[in-house]
Each structure stands twice: as structure tokens, then as C-alpha cells.
A and B are shown apart, each in its own frame.
Chain A
Amino acid sequence: MLNRSVAPAFKAIKNVNLVEPEKYVHPNGLKSFIFQAPELDLIKLEFTFDNILLKEELAILNPVLSSMLKEGTHTLTSKEIADTIDFYGAFLMPEYSFDHSSLTVYTMHKYVGNVLPILADILQNSVVPQEELDTHIRNNKQSLQISLQKNDVLARRFFYNEVFKGTRYGTLPTEDTYDSIQREEILELYKKQIQPANCNLFVAGNVDESLKKMIGEMFGQNWQNSTDLVKVTSLNFDSYSTKLFVEEKADALQSAVRFGGLTINRRHVDFPALQFVNTLFGGFFGSRLMKNIREDKGYTYSIGSFVGNLRHTGFMTLASEVGVDVTQQTLEEIKKEFEVLRQEKTSVEEIDLVRNYMQGTLLGSLESIFSHVDKFKAVYFSGLDINYYTYYSDVIKNMNPDSVQDMAIRYFDYDKLFKVVVGKI
């Protein structure tokens, strides 16, 4: 007779095997990284640029430049670029993050020769047509107006504005800054940022010899640097307010709660241990915040905390949307969870659960060759190599009640966090 109350025996979770890319430095300074998956019919090329800022307060120009890349060159219109990319079933995606802008293309292997010349043209000959820029700004202003009606968006903006104030990370778009954008500034930025010496190219898929040759010629030789490279300097961060700030919204049904502050980033030796404690605290469905505030009290649909890695700092943030009638109680419960985390030893059972969960998630995150690229990028841009993941796994495996508490005391200080509520309290 089957005993259903006893769980099957646990089997140890395997270590991950990461793909080490082939690395090339091309004559023009472009660095390329090739991740082979010969069985795949898809190819991904990701051109990643360090963000170069004309000024810290002009950070809004970088995402605009990123979007404008596919809007026209000397010889191709926005429409011609779109028609060709779509015809070959390809996907062309400009992406922007705080530290990097990238242009990614996914294409079927059989059409790579049709798609790459478009990329080469974009990288060398973009013209940012005024009319396309006007359209982009007009549409983005309208979607900004809509976002600003959302309490969670407002709370997040308050957080970035305060904690990262005076830097690129704290410079968020407004309708006024959209209005002040000049085409000449975008073109100047294009010249400074979109050049091979400022580019890392990640290629994944079935990269045969002829494709390597094509990439080498098109992007490693024929693409010229247009100006001297501006080196990214380090950033300084001011202190920020830690008092609770409330933005009242009379008609709100829910309040958006957002806490956060600066912390270490991946370059710091404690980062994996910090990620461990964050996972335990608020980083997954079984975290303390979820168990208490959702699964026990029913105050919210979701609550979570997150540790972010940036080039010039790290940050921790916590967010939820909760019923207006239980906002005050939620704030008290969050505070209590911080105190418990710092003052009480975590049980070995809870630590085992989080450890196994994190190991399983890491193993599961390696779905295709494209996820190997992401894993590599994460460490490469922090000046590390893929041996970092061995270190990460060792730290996760060795966490114990003392090290959890040690990390909690060092990095989980409620009193040092910025706190905002948008809604009602």
C-alpha cells in the first residue's frame, strides 16, 4: 500500500555546465563571443554598447537613441528596414538598460545572409530622421501619461529619483524632457556610442565558418570607429531620505508600497550570500514575505524583494500592491520581518529549502544556448568570468544559520531604506 504522506527521497541537484564562448578581438576593436549550438535553426546576434552619456542629466537620450536605430539610414527608410526584417521572419529588438544599450536580431539560419547587411547599415549609417523622432517622442509621451496613472509606477519612480538622485540611474523621463530632445544630440550620441571599440557582440546558434567570416568582414573590419572613445567614469551617490513618504491618492483601491536602498553589487565577495538571504526573505513564492503577507494574511496578490546589480552600485528593493484597508498592517508586517531576519537564527530546514530551490532554478535557467549567453554576460560585464558560478554555487551550498544572520545584519537594515506609499494609509 502506497504511503502518500511520505515524500519520495530527495536526490542531490546537479551542478551546471556552462558554455565557454570562443572569443575574438577584431581589427577595429570589436570584441565578439561565439556560443555554438550547431543543431539550432535560429541565430541570435546581440550588439551591446556601454552607455555613454553626454551628461548625467541627459540619460533620457540613451533609450531614445536605442529605439531610433531602426528608424532609418542613408539608404534605407524605417519602412524598408521593417519590411525586410519581417519578411525573413526575423526579430530586430533595440534594448536599453541602465548601463548598456543593445541591438539584438534573431533570425533563421537560412536567412542570416539577408538580414546581417541591414544590421551593418544601421550600425554605420543611421540618420535618425526628424519625422521619425517626432513620432517616437509623441507616442512615448502618451504612454508616459498612462504609466503615470499607475500607483506602482509612481512608487518606483519615487524610489529611483531619490535613491539614485543626481545620477543617470535616477534621471527618469518626463513630458518636459521628451519635449527638449534635439535630433543633433541623438546624432552626437550615436557617433560616440555606436562604434566597434565600444561594442561587445554575442553570437549564438549554428555559427559555421562562412558565418564567422561574414561577421568578421562586416562587423570586424568594414565598420570604422568614428571618434575617440569616452571612458565611463565612476559615479557618486548621495545619501537619501529614509522617512516614510506618502503620496495620497483619494480614489485608490490599493496602495503601491516600495522600499529600497543602495547595496553591494556582483563584484563584492558577499553578493551570492546576499542573493541567498534575499531569496529567503522575499525572492520567491515560498519567501517569508509571500508566506506571511499573501499566504497567511491575504493582504496582497504579490509581494517581493529584489537585489539588482548595476555597473556602479547594487540596490535592493521591495514592492507590493496591497488593499488600502490593510496598508498600515502590511508596513508593520514588513518591518517585523526585517527584525526577525536580523534577530533570530534561521532554521537549517529553511536554509536547505532555499538552497535546493536556488540550485534547481539555476539548473533550470539554462534552457537553450541563449540562456548560456545571458549567464556569461552577467559576469562578463562585472569584470568576472564563468568560474564565478562555481564560487556562487559553493557559497549557496555553504550557507548556514550564522552566515544568514551575518548577512542579514550587514545588508538588511529597515532603517536605512527609502520608503514610499502611493495610495492610502
Chain B
Amino acid sequence: MINFNRFKLDNGLTILVHEDHTTAMAVVNILYKVGARDESPEQTGFAHLFEHLMFGGSVNIPNYDAPLQSVGGENNAFTSNDITNYYITLPSNNLETAFWLESDRMLSLAFSDQSLDVQRQVVCEEFKQRYLNQPYGDVWLKLRPLAYKVHPYRWATIGKELKHIEDAKMEDVKAFFNKFYTPQNAIMVVAGDVTLDEVKALSEKWFAEIPSGNIYERNLPQEPKQIEPRHEVVEAEVPVDAIYIAFHGPERLSSDYYTTDLISDLLSRGSSSRLYRCLVKENPVFSEINAYMMGSIDTNLFVVEGKPLAHISLEEAEKNIWNELEKIKTELVLDAELQKVKNKIESTMLFAELSILDKAMNLAFFEMLSKAEDYNLEVEKYNVVSPNDIQRVAREIFVKENSSTLYYKSKAKENVE
């Protein structure tokens, strides 16, 4: 349970305040409602590149990081397909420094050519380090366009290719800022050793004069229902084969989202989970196997991925996964097993409340999704899921026509055989 207060500035900026005086720190978390899904197909990776540029100096402050570090603070940010989230942690008596820095870059960036030049290179190196120069690193560059044909989820946050990043121009950077980085497209959460009055006064002082900007109406092409199984094979210099099966699943706001999330827990959370028990331990087919939801806002992906043992073919591995999926479709899950994954949700939520940063991020995310109050209803939404719900949703999702299967084959292994 996280308590908070909400208020809104005239320019449209929403601000939430969560007081926790057990810490001497404060968090300022700003979520901008823009992610890779808002990019043009010809300029992918731009939201993430832009995140890097947000640290390249703002209109009145040439250097973002140093003044924050000078008062004992730290910051970071991440971009997903749905959102871009920036956060600062600092000693609470220096809270105003965070307001000064964040308000200036919401007002306007410096748009320095040097920053754009360097960050283009840094992001290209990040692209190589995480996606191109790693075994299996490019899986999502293959799997997303296999599973999504229309929705912008068909490209990864890093972008489709290095060239899109290399080609980024300053005029695009400015247009992106003006379109998305407005007070009404942002949610700010201030948490920790702070008071509501103090946050109200600082917000008025630093953020109120920022022009509200234009409203951005999101109108994304939605993914049509998949009607045929999809299959792709890639070969790469990896020592071990891997298989990925992606199914379309419910949107984040659907009540079936919770059911689907629990299905992934039944299949793969902890050492007692079904896939681990059956396919790693009792009937060893895989060295590792996982099932999880992407947690996207629009139509989701439910992914099962695994690395079969050396003597197991990908066809056989796939068959074994389907056997487990069939079980969850045909046999009602026992109450005790369902209760087990619900108990894990309950304890996980307790962990999330140990950190003011986690609390701030969760409030911002739920405020963006629907309203922050809904965060406190999460446990209950999981708790009402019944064995029949599990079976019904499993039957909807786990069908071949809803699946995209990627065989990631080892070239080395082929040569040996």
C-alpha cells in the first residue's frame, strides 16, 4: 500500500507526492509518455537516442550531471517501447537542485551539436554491446517483426538498425522534443523525505512557467488478430540452439492480463514451476527454460524461451513445450498451486515497497496507465483469478495460429554433426 497526494499545475503537469520519512533521501521521477511505439518506422531507436540527449545540457544549464553529483545525487533513465522514465535520487535537503535541473530540461534543451554527435556514437556502441556483439543478442530484432506485422512494437527500443541512429538530425531532435516533452505529457512523482507543501511550492516555482505545449493524440495502428502460425529459422555463431515461441496476449489494462501473468508464473517462476520441474529436472530436455509476459501496454507478447540440451533437436524441444501448454489448457490447475503463485505476488509486492525509487516508479507508471490509486489494487486483481480463468485464457492464447516460433540454430553444432 503506497499513500500519496496528487495535484496538477495549470500547464498540465501532474505531480504525485509520497512521503516516507524513514529515509533521508528523496526521489524525483519524471515519466514522459513517449516510447519506441511513437516513432516513425523510418526513424526507429529515436526515443532512446533522445533519452541520451536529455543529459547533454539544457537551455540555462550547460551540464546536467555535475551539479547533481555535487549535491550528493545520482540519476539515470530508461526507455521502453511505451515510456521514457528519468529519475534522480538525492539527499532530501538538496531536493531543490532536482527541481532546478528537471524543470530546465523540460523548458528546453541546449540542442548541442557536439552532444548529438557523441551520443549517436555512444548509442551505436550500446547497440553493438547489447544486441550485435553478444550471443543471442539480436533475438528481439528478429522476434518482434515476426510477431508484430503492423503495430510499432515490431521494432525494438534500440531501433531496427544502426543506420537509423547514425542518420538522426538536429531538426528531428527539436521536433521530437516539442511534440513529446511537454508538461501535459509528463508525470512527476516526488517521494521520500519530503512534504506535500514543500513539493507544491517547489513545483510552482520551477515548473509553473513552462508552456503547456500541444496535446499529443496517440493514434497507433493496432495489430490485427494473427490467423496463421509463423515460423522462422536463423543460424548464428552460438554454441547452443535456442527456441523462442511468442504468443499474442491481453493488453495491460485487461483483467485477463493478471490471469496471463499468473500463467507465466505457474509455468516458470521459481524452482517449483512446471517448465523447470518437468523439462529441466524430471525429463531433462532443456538446460534452461523461461516463460514471461512482456508487460506492454498494447497487445502483449507471452514468450516461452529455452535452450535445449545438446542431444535434443529444436523440433523435439518445441513438442515438449507444447505438451506442457496443452496440460494447462486441459487440466484445471489445483487451488494450492494457484495459491502458491499468488503468495509469491504478495511477497514480491512487499519487496517493491522497501525502496522509495521503486515506489515512485510504480506510482508514475500506474498514473500513466490509468490512475496511481490502481497500484494499490494490484494484489487484489491477482487474487480474484480462478482456476477456470487460467484454463480459459490458456485456451485462447496457446494455439498455433497465435504463435510465432523462432529457431535460433547453432552453426557450430551443425558442423559437428
Contacts and interface: CB of A to CB of B under 8 A. Distances in A.
Contacts of A252: 133
A296 interface: yes
A106 interface: yes
Interface in A338-389: 352-354, 356-357, 359-361, 363-364, 366-368, 370
B133 A254 contact: yes
B307 A301 contact: no
Given A286-B69, A301-B129, A370 B354 contact: yes
B281 A356 contact: no
Interface stretch (B172-180, B221-229, B233-241): B233-241
B73 A87 contact: no
Interface residues of A, number: 73
B135 A149 contact: yes
Given A79-B281, A87-B343, A108-B350, A353 B69 contact: yes
Contact of A139 (B89, B96, B129, B280): B280
Contacts of A83: 272, 340
Interface string A80-115: 011101111111000000000000001110000000
Contacts of A135: 280-281, 284
Contacts of B284: 135, 138
Contacts of B345: 89
Nearest to B265: A86
B25, B271, B336 — most chain A CB neighbours (10 Å): B271
Contacts of A356: 69-72
A296 B240 CA distance: 39
Contacts of B70: 10, 352-353, 356-357
A108 B411 CA distance: 47
Interface string B73-116: 11000000000000001110110110110011001000000000
A145 interface: yes
Contact of B287 (A82, A142, A323): A142
Contacts of B238: 146, 149
A210 interface: no
A253 B272 contact: no
Contacts of B354: 42, 367-368, 370
A132, A145, A150, A302 — most chain B CB neighbours (10 Å): A145
A11 B118 contact: no
B203 interface: no
B209 A2 contact: yes
B255 interface: no
Contacts of B239: 145-146, 148-149
Contacts of B74: 284-285, 357, 360-361, 364
Contact of B24 (A294, A296, A363): A363
Contacts of A286: 65-66, 69
B100 A4 contact: yes
A2 B202 CA distance: 12
Nearest to A369: B354
B240 A145 contact: yes
Interface in B260-283: 269-273, 277, 280-281
Contact of B121 (A82, A86, A106, A298): A298
A41 interface: yes
Given A145-B239, A286-B65, A79 B350 contact: no
Contacts of A2: 205-206, 209
B23 interface: yes
A61 to B, nearest CB: 21
Q: Is the interface of B mostly helix, strand, loop or mixed?
A: helix
A139 B276 CA distance: 12
A5 B61 contact: yes
A83 B125 CA distance: 43
Contacts of B356: 367
A356 B96 CA distance: 16
A317 interface: no
Nearest to B94: A11
B122 interface: yes
Interface residues of B, number: 80
A85 B29 CA distance: 35
Contact of A89 (B206, B277, B344): B344
A203 interface: no
A47 B3 CA distance: 35
Contacts of A90: 347
Given A353-B66, A360-B73, A79 B280 contact: no
Nearest to B127: A301
Interface in B337-387: 339-340, 343-348, 350-351, 354-356
Contacts of B2: none
A89 B125 CA distance: 40
A142 B410 CA distance: 13
B117 interface: yes
Contacts of B273: 86
A209 interface: no
A360 B125 contact: no
A151 interface: yes
A150 B288 CA distance: 18
B65 A363 contact: no
Nearest to A39: B22
A266 B405 CA distance: 51
Contact of B133 (A8, A145, A294, A321): A321
B183 to A, nearest CB: 16
Given A108-B347, A295-B118, A360-B69, 14 more contacts: A2-B206, A4-B100, A4-B103, A10-B97, A89-B346, A89-B347, A108-B350, A138-B284, A142-B240, A284-B74, A285-B74, A286-B66, A353-B70, A364-B91
22 contacts: A4-B59, A8-B94, A10-B70, A11-B71, A11-B91, A12-B93, A13-B91, A14-B93, A42-B351, A83-B340, A86-B344, A142-B240, A149-B238, A150-B134, A150-B135, A285-B65, A298-B122, A353-B66, A357-B69, A360-B72, A360-B74, A363-B24
In order of increasing CB-CB distance, the 7 nearest A-B pairs are A360-B72, A298-B121, A89-B343, A89-B347, A82-B271, A82-B272, A4-B60
Interface of B: 23-25, 59-61, 65-67, 69-74, 89-91, 93-94, 96-97, 99-100, 103-104, 107, 117-126, 128-130, 132-136, 205-206, 209, 237-240, 269-273, 277, 280-281, 284, 287-288, 307, 309-310, 336, 339-340, 343-348, 350-351, 354-356
